[in-house]
C-alpha cells in the first residue's frame, strides 16, 4: 500500500508541470472544462455501475455541474481581460 502512495506522489511530480503547460497553452477555463468532462464521464460510468441511471444523474450533478460552471466563468473572465 505504501508503494502505491509513493507512486501517486511521483506521478504528481510529473503531471503538475504538464497540466500547467496545458493550461497555459489552451487557457485555464478550457482546461477546467475538458478535465471536468473527463471526470464526469468517468463518474457517470461508476454511477451507472453502482446505482443505475439514478446514480448517473447524481454523479453528473455532483461532479460535473460545479467544475463546468467554474470553467465557463473563467473563460468569460479571461475574454474580458483580453478584449
Q: How many CB atoms lie within 10 A of CB 40?
A: 21
pLDDT of residue 83: 63
- Separation between Cα atoms, residue 16 and residue 18, nearest integer Å: 5
Gap between the Cα atoms of 36 and 39, Å rounded:
5
Please give the residue range of the domain that contains residue 45: 2-82
**Of 66 and 20, which is predicted with more confidence?**
20
Q: Domains in the chain: how many in total?
A: 1
Q: What is the DSSP string of 11-36?
A: HHHHHHHHHHHHHHHH-HHHHHHHHH
Give ∠ CA 11-78-67 in degrees, rounded to 5. 50
Dihedral of CA atoms 16, 24, 22, 31 in degrees, nearest 10, equals 100
Q: What is the pTM of this model?
A: 0.57
The more confidently predicted of residues 13 and 37 is 13
Amino acid at each position: 500500500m505504501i508503494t502505491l502512495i509513493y507512486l501517486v506522489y511521483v506521478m504528481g511530480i510529473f503531471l503538475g508541470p504538464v497540466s500547467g503547460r496545458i493550461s497555459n497553452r489552451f487557457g485555464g477555463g478550457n482546461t477546467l472544462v475538458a478535465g471536468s468532462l473527463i471526470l464526469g464521464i468517468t463518474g457517470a460510468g461508476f454511477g451507472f455501475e453502482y446505482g443505475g441511471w439514478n446514480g448517473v444523474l447524481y454523479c453528473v450533478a455532483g461532479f460535473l455541474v460545479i467544475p463546468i460552471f467554474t470553467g465557463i466563468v473563467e473563460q468569460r473572465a479571461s475574454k474580458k481581460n483580453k478584449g
